[in-house]
Copies of this chain bind each other. A is one copy, B any other.
Amino acid sequence: MLIDWTSIALQIYDKIKAKVSMMDFKPTLWAIMVWNSKASLRYIKQKKKWAEYTGINFKLLELESDISEKKLLKHIEKFNEDDNISGYIVQLPLPKHIDEQKVIDAIKPEKDVDWFHPINQWKILIWDKSGLAPCTPAWVIKILKSLDIEFHWMIACVIGRSNIVWKPVTALLINKWATVITCNSSTPHLSDFTKKADIVVVAVWKPELLKENMLKKWSIIIDVWFTVVDDKIYWDAQTDSIDKAWHKITPVPGWVWPLTVAMLLKNTFKAHKNQIKEKK
C-alpha cells in the first residue's frame, strides 16, 4: 500500500480550517526572511498558500541581507511582544555575519512554531507535551498513528542521526514505548536491523539504500528525503523494488512538504490558543 500523505495533510488543514472559522480573533503567522534564496521563496509560498487555506493570516517580513544582528534581534523582540502575532518563523540559513543560535535563543518559545528553540527541543526529550511540536518528526508519528499502530510492541529502525529530525523521531518513539534501533551511515550489517523492524524510518541521504530484501514482511517504510545526483532524484528507499502488497510505504515521487507545512500550521493554531488562554 502507498501511504497517502497528501490526504493526511489535507485532513489536518481542514480540521484547522474548521476550528479557525469559529474564532473571532484569528491566528497570525509571520515569516522573517533575511537570506533571499530561490528555495526559501518556494517554501514561503507554500506556507502562505496553506495558511490562507486554513484561515490563518500569513505575513512576510523581508529584510536586507546586510541587516545587522542587533537590528534583527530588535525585530524579534517586537515580534515576541506583539499580541497580534501567534507565531513566527525565521527562515534559515541566515547570512554569515549573524549568529544563528543567538537569534534562535531570542525567539519566545511560545511563538517558536518551527521548533528551533532549545526549550521546545528539550520538552520533546522529556515527553512534556506543553511545548510546540517538531514539524517533521511530528508528521512521522502522525502517519504512523493514521495506520492505527500500537507503538508499545513495535520495533522501529531509524536510519540517520541528525539533531533536528532524527534524534527527535527517536525520542518520540522511545517515549511511546517502542523499541528503537538508531542506525547511521556506518552501521555494520544494516539489514540485520532493518529486517527486525516493523517500522523503518530512513533519512541518510544515500540513494536507494533501502531495498526489498532488507525488509521484514508487513513492515512500514517512511522515506523522508532524497538526494539529487546528475539532475535525477533518488530517495533513500528503492521504492520500485519494494512490494506494495507486503509493505506500507510513503509514495515516490512524493513530497513530504505538505505534511511539514500542516504541522507548522497546527503549531501556529496551538500557539495562538495558548496565548489567548494565558491572557484570560
Give residues in A with beta carbon < 8 Å to B: 118-119, 121-122, 125-127, 152-153, 155, 161, 163, 167, 170-171, 174-175, 177, 179-184, 186-188, 192-193, 196
**Smallest CB–CB gap between A47 and chain B, Å?**
25
Residues in B with CB closer than 8 Å to A125 are 121-122, 125, 163, 167, 171
Residues in B with CB closer than 8 Å to A119 are 118, 122
Distance, CA A66 to CA B14, complexed state (A):
52
Task: Considering the complex, give the chain B residue whose CB is closest to the CB of A120.
Answer: B122
Distance, CA A182 to CA B175, complexed state (A):
11
A192 adjacent to B184 (CB under 8 Å): no
Distance, CA A119 to CA B104, complexed state (A):
13
Q: A126-B163, A170-B170, A179-B193 are in contact. Are A153 and B186 (CB under 8 A)?
A: yes
A177 adjacent to B182 (CB under 8 Å): no
A180 adjacent to B181 (CB under 8 Å): yes
**Smallest CB–CB gap between A198 and chain B, Å?**
10
| Candidates B122, B167, B196; contact of A192 at CB < 8 Å | B196
Residues in B with CB closer than 8 Å to A184 are 174, 177, 179
B177 adjacent to A161 (CB under 8 Å): yes
B174 adjacent to A170 (CB under 8 Å): yes
A183 adjacent to B192 (CB under 8 Å): no
Taking A119-B122, A179-B188 as given, write out 6 further A-B residue pairs in contact, using a Cβ cutoff of 8 Å, ordered by the A residue number: A118-B119, A125-B167, A126-B167, A177-B184, A179-B193, A192-B196
Task: Considering the complex, give the chain B residue whose CB is closest to the CB of A153.
Answer: B188
